[in-house]
């Protein structure tokens, strides 16, 4: 059984990993804590941005010679390959670390094998400590490696009766100021924020992160099949963050940053959109609606997590949070596991993930 000191060190490594969310793609987030031979923490690090040093390297630098004979706690199996930086397994061996404990095995075929390299060099290796917590912090990257497409988190704000706008289309503001601030945190953690042309037309949304220091701005994406919703002067075209407009292959436009995609269903192909974003290094998407586009994502099996802000408000009429998702009978209902419920301001935030089918 794991010692309390091991758990404390790994929990800290998970906290450190979370600091990299939104800034490391296409790489994972990783945290590392190094203790000396007597078990005292002497180094900490996290992967801060793609192309920069890995978490282990930051922690080893801080630990210096005190790493010799100590333990490294890493949230992900130390890498074994030379990419933009050298292999971390080798760096740990050279620093004289005698034990390495990691939480999650590396599913990336190019990087895996770090544990074997460490064992071959006589380093004691343990795996699986706080695996669930370490997987949760890295869920976007792990999902993108497993499915070969970005992780998709669908976020919406609804009244208690499930409406996301009033009958006349007005929707400002359904949720509390605290919930709206929380959405900026979700944007900061995402590589791309996506909305449909209906939302672009109705709200002229800005979609950039505000109020979070040093946040890496996500790519703002509008799915606008006919290239008619985003017009010059739209708020999403300002220089606060990069923007990409997804349009049909045959649509006419004068806009510069567009990606042309095949048509499918009520608009553009969702898998083609996700492929195009993946190619651009996007590993996590925050889908901000509206209900029509969210329905298409659900129908395509492309929603990995749902974050709903439920406000204590009733409207009685107006669009529902989710439009047609291709589900016509109760046996086809998409059932979810609730992973968290939190009070945010006057609202309740519910996080849920689809059950395995
Ligand atoms: N409270 C909230 O959380 C929230 C969030 C977002 C929006 N809203 C509200 O939602 C309303 C807009 O809803 P909406 O459903 O019209 O907007 P939407 O989902 O943003 O946009 C729908 C449009 O996206 C385009 N599209 C492109 N590819 C598609 C595909 N594969 N499947 C489906 N549609 C695709 C279609 O138009 P084209 O093919 O012509 O491009 C479609 O009509 C507004 O009132 C807004 O305020 C509320």
279 and 322 part of one domain:
yes
Is residue 174 lining ligand 1, measured as CB closer than 6 Å? Answer: yes
User: 1 pLDDT exceeds 60?
Assistant: no
Q: What is the pLDDT of residue 52?
A: 92
73: domain CATH number?
3.40.140.10
Q: What is the pLDDT of residue 232?
A: 92
User: 49 pLDDT exceeds 70?
Assistant: yes
| Cα–Cα distance for residue pair 199/86, rounded to 1 Å | 45
* Average pLDDT rounded to a whole number, residues 26-45: 97
Q: How confident is the model at residue 111 (pLDDT cuts 50, 70, 90)?
A: low
* pTM across the whole model: 0.94
Residue 225 marked ligand-binding: yes
Atom of ligand 1 nearest to the CA of 323: 15
Atom of ligand 1 nearest to the CA of 270: 31
Q: What is the pLDDT of residue 35?
A: 98
Q: What is the pLDDT of residue 81?
A: 76
* Average pLDDT rounded to a whole number, residues 74-94: 86
70 and 167 part of one domain:
no
* Domain range enclosing 56: 4-141
How do residues 199-210 score in pLDDT, each as one tens digit?
Answer: 999 999 999 999
155 and 250 part of one domain:
yes
Q: 37: burial class by Cβ within 10 Å (0-12, 13-18, 19+)? A: middle
User: 300 pLDDT exceeds 80?
Assistant: yes
Tell me whether strands 124-127 and 99-104 are parallel, antiparallel or unpaired.
Answer: parallel
137 and 156 part of one domain:
no
Q: What is the pLDDT of residue 256?
A: 84
How do residues 211-228 score in pLDDT, each as one tens digit?
Answer: 999 899 999 999 999 999
User: 63 pLDDT exceeds 60?
Assistant: yes
In contact, 131 and 104? CB cutoff 8 Å: yes
Domain boundary among 87, 118, 141: 141
Q: What is the pLDDT of residue 289?
A: 87
Domain boundary among 121, 141, 161: 141
Tell me whether strands 347-354 and 305-311 are parallel, antiparallel or unpaired.
Answer: antiparallel
User: 113 pLDDT exceeds 90?
Assistant: no
| Residue having the nearest C-alpha atom to atom 45 of ligand 1 | 169
198 and 56 part of one domain:
no
Out of 236, 276, 292, 309, mutate this one to test ligand 1's pocket (max ligand atoms within 8 Å of CB): namely 292
180 and 271 part of one domain:
yes
Domain boundary among 115, 141, 167: 141
* Average pLDDT rounded to a whole number, residues 64-86: 88
How do residues 331-355 score in pLDDT, each as one tens digit?
Answer: 999 999 999 999 999 999 999 999 9
User: Which parts of the chain fold into alpha helices (H)?
Assistant: 4-18, 55-63, 88-94, 114-120, 131-137, 139-147, 177-189, 197-203, 270-279, 291-299
Number of folded domains that form the chain: 2
Atom of ligand 1 nearest to the CA of 294: 19
Going from the Cα of 323 to the center of ligand 1, the distance in angstroms, rounded, reads 9
Residue 291 marked ligand-binding: yes
Residue 267 marked ligand-binding: no
Q: What is the pLDDT of residue 265?
A: 86
* pLDDT, the chain, mean: 95
How do residues 249-272 score in pLDDT, each as one tens digit?
Answer: 999 998 889 999 999 988 999 999
Distances (CA, A) of 323 to 168, 175, 291, 314, 328: 17, 20, 5, 19, 12
36 and 164 part of one domain:
no
Q: Could you check whether the bond before residue 290 is cis, i.e. omega within 30 degrees of 0?
A: yes
219 and 97 part of one domain:
no
Distances (CA, A) of 290 to 106, 169, 210: 35, 12, 21
90 and 173 part of one domain:
no
* Average pLDDT rounded to a whole number, residues 109-135: 92
185 and 44 part of one domain:
no
Going from the Cα of 181 to the center of ligand 1, the distance in angstroms, rounded, reads 22
201: domain CATH number?
3.40.430.10
Q: Which residue numbers are catalytic? A: 56
173 and 310 part of one domain:
yes
131 and 205 part of one domain:
no
* Average pLDDT rounded to a whole number, residues 61-78: 97
Q: What is the pLDDT of residue 24?
A: 95
* Average pLDDT rounded to a whole number, residues 124-148: 96
Residue 187 marked ligand-binding: yes
User: 58 pLDDT exceeds 90?
Assistant: yes
């Amino acid at each position: 059984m794991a010692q309390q000191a091991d758990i404390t060190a790994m929990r800290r490594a998970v906290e450190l990993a979370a600091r990299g969310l939104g800034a490391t793609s296409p790489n994972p987030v990783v945290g590392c804590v190094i203790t000396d031979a007597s078990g005292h923490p002497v180094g900490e690090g996290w992967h801060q941005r793609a192309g920069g040093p890995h978490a282990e390297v930051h922690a080893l630098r801080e630990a210096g010679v005190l790493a010799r004979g100590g333990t490294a706690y890493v949230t992900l199996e130390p890498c074994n390959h030379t990419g933009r930086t050298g292999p971390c397994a080798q760096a740990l061996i050279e620093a004289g670390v005698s034990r390495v404990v990691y939480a999650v095995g590396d599913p990336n075929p190019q990087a895996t094998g770090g544990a074997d390299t460490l064992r071959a060099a006589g380093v004691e290796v343990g795996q699986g400590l706080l695996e669930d917590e370490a997987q949760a912090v890295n869920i976007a990257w792990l999902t993108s490696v497993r499915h070969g497409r970005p992780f998709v988190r669908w976020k919406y704000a609804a009244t208690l009766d499930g409406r996301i706008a009033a009958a006349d289309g007005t929707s400002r503001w359904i949720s509390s100021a605290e919930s709206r601030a929380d959405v900026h945190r979700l944007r900061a953690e995402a590589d791309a924020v996506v909305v449909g042309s209906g939302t672009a037309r109705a709200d002229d949304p800005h979609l950039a992160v505000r109020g979070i220091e040093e946040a890496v701005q996500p790519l703002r994406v509008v799915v606008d099949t006919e290239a008619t919703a985003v017009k010059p002067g739209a708020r999403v075209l300002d220089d606060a963050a990069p923007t990409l407009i997804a349009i049909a292959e045959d649509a006419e436009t004068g806009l510069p940053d567009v990606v042309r995609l095949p048509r499918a269903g009520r608009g553009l192909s969702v898998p083609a959109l996700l492929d195009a974003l993946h190619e651009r290094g996007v590993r996590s998407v925050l889908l901000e609606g509206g209900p029509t586009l969210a329905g298409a994502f659900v129908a395509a099996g492309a929603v990995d997590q749902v974050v709903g802000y439920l406000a204590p408000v009733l409207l009685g009429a107006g669009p529902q949070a989710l439009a047609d998702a291709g589900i016509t009978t109760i046996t086809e209902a998409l059932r979810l596991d609730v992973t968290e419920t939190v009070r945010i301001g006057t609202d309740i935030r519910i996080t849920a993930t689809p059950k395995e089918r």
